[in-house]
C-alpha cells in the first residue's frame, strides 16, 4: 500500500496547474464572469490539446490512456481555478461524441430536474448511451427556458422534459459525481488558501486577524474539512467503488460549500462584494453539490451500505468487497 | 496512489490473523473496568503473548528491541487486532506509545537497556505525569519542581489526569528544573519509580462513573539524576517527540471499532424500527462517509510517514480534530437508535457516549489542535 501521489501524478497535477495559471489567470476569470460564463472555445481546444478530455481514452483511440485517479487530479485543478464550462460532461463524452476528446465540441448533460448548464452553446447533450446533436439539439434548446443563473460562471436552462436526456448509466453517474467531487475539493483547498492569505495580511486592532483565535479556528476547520475529503476523493478514484464515491461527493460538497462560506466570513465586508472571488467559489460549490449526487441521495446510499458488520474500505479480500484491490492504476 | 497491499503485507496480515485466531480463545475473561489490578494483569498478559509471538513493539526500531516494522505493517497490526477483538493496548498505552518511543529516541544506551525490554515483555507499566491542575492545555506552565541534591532530584508538586497511576511501575514525569528560565526552557523529562517514598495517588471519578485516572501528589520525592532522559532543561523538546507519537497512529484501532459499531447500530435500528426515520438513517449514512474518509486519511498519513521515514507528523492534528468530533457524533446517533434505552447504563453504547466526551479534551483539546493546525500547518501568526 502506498497511498501517495506517484511522481508522474505529481507532474501531471503541476503541469495542469501551470497551464491554467498561464491561460486562465484572474483577469481571464473576471473576463469569463463578464461573459456570463460562456465557454472560451480557444481555451477549450487548449484543454483538449493538453489531454484534459481524452485523458482516459485508450491510446489506440487517440487518448492518453490514464485512469480516474489522474482525471481527479486534473479536475481538482480545474476546481481550484474556477474554470467554467461543462468540463465533466465533455470529459465523459470523449470517445462518444465527435470532437469532445479534442476540445472541438462542447458537450453538456442533464441531471434529473436540475437546470442544464451551457445548453445554449453546447454542440451536444449526452442522452443515455448516445447524444443529442444537430436538429434534435436545436429543438431541445428552443423548447428550454433560460434561467437567470445564480452562478455567473454557469449559464442555465430549464428543460421541459428531461426523460430522454437523463437516462444515464450508473457508471456515468458515478464518474460524474466523482469528477464533480474533485472540482469541489480543488475549490475547498483554494478558498482555504485564500482565507489564510487574507488572515495573514489584513490587520485589525493592530494585529493580523489571523493571530486571533476566532479566525485561526475557522481556518483550521477549513483544512480539517479539506484533508479528509481529499483522502476520500483520491481513494474513490482508485477503487471506483460507488459507496466510496458517495462518501467522497458528500464530504467534498460539504468542504467546498462550508469553506467558501468561512472564507467569505474571514474576508468580512469585502467578502460580500462582487469584486472578491469568494462568492464565485460559493455559488459554483452550491451548484455542484446539487449535481450528480445530492446530499440526501448520497447519505441514503451510504446508509444502505451499513449493517451486518460490513467491511472497512481497503481491507483485504477476506473482509472487503470484491474489486477494492483492483485499483485504477497509478 | 496504490491502495492494494503488497504480497508481503498480505502475508504478514495472514500470519497475524492465524495467530490471533489461535490465541484469542485462550485469553482470560475481561476484568471489570474499575478493577485496576485485574486490568493490569489482563493487559500485561496480552503484552507478554505479543512479545512471545514477536509482535511486541512491532513499529519500534530494531535497536530498541522492536521489530522495525513498516508503518503499513503497523497499520495492518492495529486493524487486524481490533477486528479480531483482541485486547486494546490498555495499561501498556503510555509505555508502548509514549514513554517507550521517547526513551528509544532520546535515551542513552543504558536507559534503553533498562526501560525498554520490560515494556515490551509486559513486565512494567508506565503512566504519564504531564498535566497539572494549573497546566493542562498550557502544559509548559507546569510548576512541579525538581531541585538537585547530590545525585538526586527532589520533587514536589502535583499531577492530574494520570491514567493507570494506581498500577504503574514508572511515571514519565515533566518537572521544572529551572524556575527562572522561559517556561518552555526550564523543563526536564524524568523516569520516576512509582514506589518512591512521598508519592500519593488518589483516584479521580469521571463523569462516566469510572475511576479512569488519578491525581498524584509528590512530596519531596527523590529521583536519581541518571533517570533524566535528554539534557537538563531540554524536556520540552523531548516531550514534543512523545506527543507526535501520541497523535500519529493512536486512534487507528478505534476507527476500525467505530466502523463496526456503526454497522451494529444500523442492524439495531432496522430491528427496532428506528431505521424508518429518514433523519436518523441519513445521519448514520453520513457517519459512514466520515469513518470511511478517516480510514483513508489514516492510510494517507501512514503512506506519507513510510515515504519520509520520520516520526508521525503534525498532520495527526487534523486527524485527531476530526476524529474526536466524529466519535462524539457516532454515540449521539447511538442514543437516537436506543431511544428510551439511552438512559440505561447497562445498555451497550451508553458508557461509550459518556466516555466520548473526553475525546475533544484529552491529548490536546480540539481548541489546541486548531491552534496547532492554524499555526504550524497553515502558518498563521501566533497570538491570542
Residues of chain B with Cβ-Cβ distance to A221 below 8 Å are 370
Whether B11 is a known active-site residue: answer: no
**Same domain for A224 and A107:** no
**Tens-place pLDDT, residues A89-143:** 999 999 999 999 999 999 999 998 899 999 999 999 998 878 999 999 999 999 9
Minimal Cβ distance to A306: which of B284, B300, B380 = B284
- Residues of chain A contacting residue B286, judged by C-beta atoms under 8 Å apart: 250, 299, 302
- Can you tell me the mean pLDDT for A40-50? 97
Last residue of a domain, one of A137, A163, A189: A163
Site of grid cell 504519564 = B128
The C-alpha atoms of residue A180 and residue B180 are separated, in whole angstroms, by 57
Which residue among A132, A163, A194 closes a domain? A163
- pLDDT single digits (tens) B184-228: 999 999 999 999 999 999 999 999 888 778 999 999 999 999 999
Helix (H, G, I), strand (E, B) or coil at B68: coil
Q: Quick one: what percent of chain B has pLDDT higher than 90? A: 80
Would the CB atoms of A223 and B300 count as touching at under 8 Å? no
pLDDT tens figures, A178-222: 999 999 999 999 999 999 999 999 999 999 999 999 999 999 999
Contact B5, B76 (CB under 8 A): yes
Q: Does residue A317 sit within a domain?
A: no
With beta carbons less than 8 A apart as the criterion, state whether B240 and B248 touch. no
Are A11 and A121 members of one domain? Answer: yes
> Which neighbouring-strand residues pair with A145?
A158
- Report residue B262's pLDDT band, with 50, 70 and 90 as the boundaries: very high
User: Which residues of chain B have a CB within 8 Å of the CB of A235?
Assistant: 3, 292, 296, 299
Task: Give the residue on B whose Cα is nearest the Cα of A233.
Answer: B293
Indicate whether A235 and A197 sit together in one domain.
Answer: yes
Please report the pLDDT score of residue A152 as a whole number: 97
Given strand A124-127, what is the order of strands in its sheet?
A107-109, A124-127, A130-133
A92 shares a domain with A194: no
Q: How many other CB atoms are there within 10 angstroms of residue A204's CB atom?
A: 11
Q: Which of A220, A296, A310 sits opposite B374 (nearest CB)?
A: A220
**Bridging pattern class, strands A124-127 and A107-109:** parallel
pLDDT value of residue A280: 98
Does A232 share its domain with A276? yes
Distance (Å, rounded) from C-alpha A303 to C-alpha A305?
5
Q: Which of B221, B235, B254 is nearest to B93 (CA)?
A: B254
Supply the pLDDT for residue A63.
95
Q: Which pLDDT does position A162 carry in this prediction? A: 67
Give dist(CA A76, CA B254) in Å, integer. 31
Phi, psi (5° rounding) for residue B259?
Answer: -65, -35
CA dist B373 and B384 (Å) reads 15
Element (H, E) at B146: strand B145-149
Could you give the ipTM of this predicted complex? Answer: 0.93
Distances (CA, A) of B180 to A4, A60, A240, B233, B237: 46, 74, 60, 11, 18
> Which of B293, B375, B382 lies at the smallest CB-CB distance from A251?
B293
Task: Confirm whether A315 is domain-assigned.
Answer: no
A312, B79: Cβ pair inside 8 Å? yes
Residue of A nearest to B10 (CA): A316
Q: Which residue of B has its CA nearest to A214?
A: B384
Name the residue among A9, A220, A327 with its Cβ closest to that of B3. A327
Place of cell 460538497: A253
Q: For residue B374, count other CB atoms closer than 10 A to its CB.
A: 28
**B147-163 per-position pLDDT tens digit:** 999 999 999 999 999 98
The reply to whether A235 and A111 lie within a common domain is: no
Residue B6 has a pLDDT of 95
Q: With 60 as the cut, is the pLDDT of residue B247 above it? A: no
Cβ contact, residue pair B381, A207, below 8 Å: yes
Q: Average pLDDT in the A273-294 region? A: 97
How far apart (Å, rounded) are the C-alpha atoms in residues A87 and A103? 10
Q: Choosing from B82, B124, B212, B246, which is the catalytic residue?
A: B246
CB contacts of A69 in chain B (<8 Å) are: 1
Confidence class for position B97, pLDDT limits 50, 70, 90? confident
Question: What is the rounded CA–CA span in Å between residue B180 and residue B286?
Answer: 52
Beta carbons of B79 and A4 less than 8 Å apart: no
Domain count, chain A: 2
B161 Cβ neighbours under 8 A, 6+ residues apart: B131, B136, B204, B213, B362
pLDDT at B245: 59
Q: How far apart are CA B368 and CA A246, in angstroms?
A: 32
Cβ partners under 8 Å of residue A178, min gap 6? A68, A72, A233, A236, A237, A245, A248, A249
Is pLDDT above 70 for B100? yes
Compute the residue count for chain A. Answer: 330
Q: What are phi and psi of B249, to 5 degrees?
A: -120, 20
- Report, in angstroms and rounded to the nearest whole number, the Rg of chain B calculated over CA atoms: 21
Domain with residue A226: its CATH number is 1.20.140.10
Mean per-residue pLDDT of chain B: 93
d(CA B45, CA B34) in angstroms, rounded, equals 18
Residue A208: which domain range?
170-309
Q: What is the DSSP string of A126-160?
A: EETTEEEEHHHHHHHHHHSEEE--SSTT--EEE-S
Given an 8 Å threshold on Cβ–Cβ distance, is B286 in contact with A196? no
Nearest CA in chain B to A207: B383
The pLDDT tens digits of the residues spanning B279-294 come to: 999 999 999 999 999 9
Whether pLDDT at B246 is above 60:
no
Per-residue pLDDT band at B308 (split at 50, 70, 90):
confident
Give the confidence band of A322 by pLDDT, cuts at 50, 70, 90: very low
pLDDT score of A307 more than 60: yes
Q: How far apart are CA A112 and CA A317, in angstroms?
A: 36
Grid coordinates belonging to A185: 475539493
Report if residue A55 sits inside a domain.
yes
The answer on A13 and A158 residing in a single domain is: yes
**Nearest chain A Cα distance for residue B18, angstroms:** 13
- HEC string of A78-100 equals HHHHCCCCCHHHHHHHCCCCCCC
B239 vs A26, which has greater pLDDT? A26
Question: Vertex A192, ends A191 and A196: CA angle to 5°?
Answer: 115
Mutate: best of B137, B261, B288, partner A, most A CBs <10 A: B288
Which residues in chain A are closer than 8 Å to B265, comparing Cβ atoms? 306
Give the C-alpha separation, B84 to B27, whole Å. 13
Domain for residue A110, yes or no? Answer: yes
Q: What is the pLDDT of residue A165?
A: 78
Tell how far CA B261 is from the center of its chain: 20
pLDDT at B356 over 60: yes
Q: Chain B, 69-88: which have a CB under 8 Å from a chain A CB?
A: 72, 75, 79, 83
Residue with cell 491552534: B371
Residue A57 belongs to a domain: yes
Residue A321 lies in a domain: no
**CB distance A211–B381 less than 8 Å?**
yes
A271 and A297 belong to one structural domain: yes
Q: B299: which DSSP letter?
A: H
Going by C-alpha positions, the residue among A153, A148, A13, A18 that lies closest to residue A83 is: A153
Report the pLDDT averaged over residues A161-179: 88
C-alpha closest to that of A318 among B299, B10, B254: B10
Q: What confidence score (pLDDT) does residue B360 get? A: 95
Greater model confidence, B137 or B345: B345
In the predicted structure, residue B315 carries a pLDDT above the cut 80: no
Q: Within this chain, do residues A30 and A155 fall inside the same structural domain, yes or no?
A: yes
The C-alpha of A157 sits at a distance from chain B's nearest C-alpha, in angstroms, of 31
- Residue in A5, A196, A207 nearest the CB of B383: A207
Q: Is the pLDDT of residue B312 over 50?
A: yes
Q: Which residues of A touch B383 (CB under 8 A)?
A: 207-208, 210-213, 216
Numbers of helices and strands, H then E, in chain A: 12, 8
Task: Count other Cβ atoms within 10 Å, centred on residue A230.
Answer: 25
Report the C-alpha gap between A278 and A272 in whole angstroms.
8
Q: For the whole model, what pTM was predicted? A: 0.94
Tell me, yes or no, whether A58 and A110 share the same domain. Answer: yes
Q: Do A198 and A277 belong together in one domain?
A: yes
Q: B267 in contact with A at a CB cutoff of 8 Å? A: yes
**A326 within a domain of the structure (yes/no):** no
Q: How many CA atoms lie within 13 A of A175 on its CB side?
A: 20
- How high is the pLDDT of residue A193? 98
* pLDDT tens for each residue of A226-264: 999 999 999 999 999 999 999 999 999 999 999 999 999
**Is the pLDDT reported for residue A317 higher than 70?**
no
DSSP structural state of residue B28: P
Nearest CA in chain B to A318: B14
**DSSP-derived 3-state class of residue B4:** coil
Domain boundary among A163, A189, A213: A163
Question: Do the bridges between strand A145-147 and strand A116-117 make them parallel or antiparallel, or are there none, so unpaired?
Answer: unpaired
Separation between Cα atoms, residue A297 and residue A263, nearest integer Å:
27
Give the CATH number, domain containing residue A141: 1.10.540.10
**Does residue A328 fall inside a structural domain?**
no
Q: Measured between alpha carbons, how far is B15 from B9 in angstroms, rounded to an integer?
A: 10
DSSP A175-242: HHHHHHHHHHHHHHHHHHHHHHHHHHH-EETTEEGGGSHHHHHHHHHHHHHHHHHHHHHHHHHHH--H
3-state secondary structure of B297: helix
Q: For residues A37 and A155, is the Cβ–Cβ distance under 8 A? A: yes
Of B297, B374, B377, the CB nearest to A231: B297
Chain B CB contacts of A199 under 8 Å are 380
* CA closest to B294 among chain A residues: A228
Between residues A277 and A315, the one the model is more confident about: A277
pLDDT at position A324 over 50 = no
Tell me, yes or no, if B15 comes closer than 8 A to chain A by beta carbon.
no
Q: Which three cell numbers stand for residue B125?
A: 507499566
Same domain, A240 and A283: yes
Residue A92 exposure: Cα atoms within 13 Å on the Cβ side: 28
CA distance B383 to chain A (A): 5
Amino acid at each position: 500500500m502506498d497511498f501517495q501521489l506517484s511522481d508522474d501524478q505529481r507532474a501531471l497535477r503541476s503541469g495542469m496547474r501551470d497551464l491554467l495559471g498561464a491561460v486562465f489567470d484572474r483577469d481571464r476569470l473576471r473576463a469569463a464572469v463578464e461573459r456570463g460564463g460562456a465557454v472560451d472555445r480557444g481555451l477549450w481546444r487548449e484543454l483538449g490539446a493538453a489531454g484534459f478530455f481524452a485523458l482516459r481514452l485508450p491510446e489506440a483511440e487517440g487518448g492518453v490512456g490514464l485512469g480516474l485517479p489522474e482525471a481527479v487530479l486534473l479536475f481538482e485543478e480545474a476546481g481550484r481555478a474556477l474554470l467554467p464550462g461543462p468540463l465533466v460532461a465533455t470529459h465523459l463524452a470523449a470517445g462518444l461524441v465527435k470532437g469532445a476528446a479534442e476540445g472541438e465540441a462542447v458537450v453538456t448533460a442533464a441531471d434529473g430536474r436540475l437546470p442544464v448548464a451551457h445548453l445554449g452553446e453546447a454542440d451536444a447533450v449526452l442522452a443515455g448511451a448516445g447524444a443529442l446533436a444537430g436538429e434534435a439539439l436545436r429543438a431541445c434548446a428552443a423548447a428550454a427556458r433560460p434561467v437567470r443563473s445564480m452562478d455567473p460562471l454557469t449559464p442555465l436552462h430549464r428543460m421541459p422534459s428531461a426523460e430522454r436526456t437523463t437516462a444515464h448509466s450508473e457508471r456515468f453517474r458515478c464518474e460524474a459525481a466523482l469528477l464533480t467531487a474533485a472540482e469541489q475539493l480543488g475549490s475547498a483547498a483554494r478558498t482555504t488558501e485564500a482565507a489564510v492569505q487574507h488572515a495573514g495580511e489584513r490587520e485589525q486592532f493592530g494585529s493580523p486577524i489571523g493571530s486571533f483565535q476566532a479566525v485561526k479556528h475557522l481556518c483550521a476547520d477549513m483544512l480539517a474539512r479539506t484533508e479528509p475529503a481529499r483522502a476520500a476523493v483520491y481513494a474513490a478514484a482508485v477503487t471506483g467503488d460507488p459507496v466510496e464515491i458517495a462518501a467522497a461527493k458528500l464530504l467534498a460538497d460539504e468542504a467546498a460549500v462550508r469553506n467558501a462560506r468561512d472564507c467569505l466570513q474571514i474576508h468580512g465586508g469585502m467578502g460580500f462584494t462582487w469584486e472578491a472571488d469568494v462568492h464565485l467559489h460559493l455559488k459554483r460549490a452550491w451548484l455542484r453539490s446539487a449535481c450528480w449526487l445530492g446530499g440526501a441521495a448520497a447519505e441514503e446510499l451510504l446508509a444502505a451500505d451499513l449493517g451486518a458488520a460490513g467491511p472497512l474500505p481497503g481491507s483485504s479480500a477476506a473482509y472487503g468487497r470484491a474489486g477494492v484491490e483492483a485499483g485504477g492504476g497509478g | 496512489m496504490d491502495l492494494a497491499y503488497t504480497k508481503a503485507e498480505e502475508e504478514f496480515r495472514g500470519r497475524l490473523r492465524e495467530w490471533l485466531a489461535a490465541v484469542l480463545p485462550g485469553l482470560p475473561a475481561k476484568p471489570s473496568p474499575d478493577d485496576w489490578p485485574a486490568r493490569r494483569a489482563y493487559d500485561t498478559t496480552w503484552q507478554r503473548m505479543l512479545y512471545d509471538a514477536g509482535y511486541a513493539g512491532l513499529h519500534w526500531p530494531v535497536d530498541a528491541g522492536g521489530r522495525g516494522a513498516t508503518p503499513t505493517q503497523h497499520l495492518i497490526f492495529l486493524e487486524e487486532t481490533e477486528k479480531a477483538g483482541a485486547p486494546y493496548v490498555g495499561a501498556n498505552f503510555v509505555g508502548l506509545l509514549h514513554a517507550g518511543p521517547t526513551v528509544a529516541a532520546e535515551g542513552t544506551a543504558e536507559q534503553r537497556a533498562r526501560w525498554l525490554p520490560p515494556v515490551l515483555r509486559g513486565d512494567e507499566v508506565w503512566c504519564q505525569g504531564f498535566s497539572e491542575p494549573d497546566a493542562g492545555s498550557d502544559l509548559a506552565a507546569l510548576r512541579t519542581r525538581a531541585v538537585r541534591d547530590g545525585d538526586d532530584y527532589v520533587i514536589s508538586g502535583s499531577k492530574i489526569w494520570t491514567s493507570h497511576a494506581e498500577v504503574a511501575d514508572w511515571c514519565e514525569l515533566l518537572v521544572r528544573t529551572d524556575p527562572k528560565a522561559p517556561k518552555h526552557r526550564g523543563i526536564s523529562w524524568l523516569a520516576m519509580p512509582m514506589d518512591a517514598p512521598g508519592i500519593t495517588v488518589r483516584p479521580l471519578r469521571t463523569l462516566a462513573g469510572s475511576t479512569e485516572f488519578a491525581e498524584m501528589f509528590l512530596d519531596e520525592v527523590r529521583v536519581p539524576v541518571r533517570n533524566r532522559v535528554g539534557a537538563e532543561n531540554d524536556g520540552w523538546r523531548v516531550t514534543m517527540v512523545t506527543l507526535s507519537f501520541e497523535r500519529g497512529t493512536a486512534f487507528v484501532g478505534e476507527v476500525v471499532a467505530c466502523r463496526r459499531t456503526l454497522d451494529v447500530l444500523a442492524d439495531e435500528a432496522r430491528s427496532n424500527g428506528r431505521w424508518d426515520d429518514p433523519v436518523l438513517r441519513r445521519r448514520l449514512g453520513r457517519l459512514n462517509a466520515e469513518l470511511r474518509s478517516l480510514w483513508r486519511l489514516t492510510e494517507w498519513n501512514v503512506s506519507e510517514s513510510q515515504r519520509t521515514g520520520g516520526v508521525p507528523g503534525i498532520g495527526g492534528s487534523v486527524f485527531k480534530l476530526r476524529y474526536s468530533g466524529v466519535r462524539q457524533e457516532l454515540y449521539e446517533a447511538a442514543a437516537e437508535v436506543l431511544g428510551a434505552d439511552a438512559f440505561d447504563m447497562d445498555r451497550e453504547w451508553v458508557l461509550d457516549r459518556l466516555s466520548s466526551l473526553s475525546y475533544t479534551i484529552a491529548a490536546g483539546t480540539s481548541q489546541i489542535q486548531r491552534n496547532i493546525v492554524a499555526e504550524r500547518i497553515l502558518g498563521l501568526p501566533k497570538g491570542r
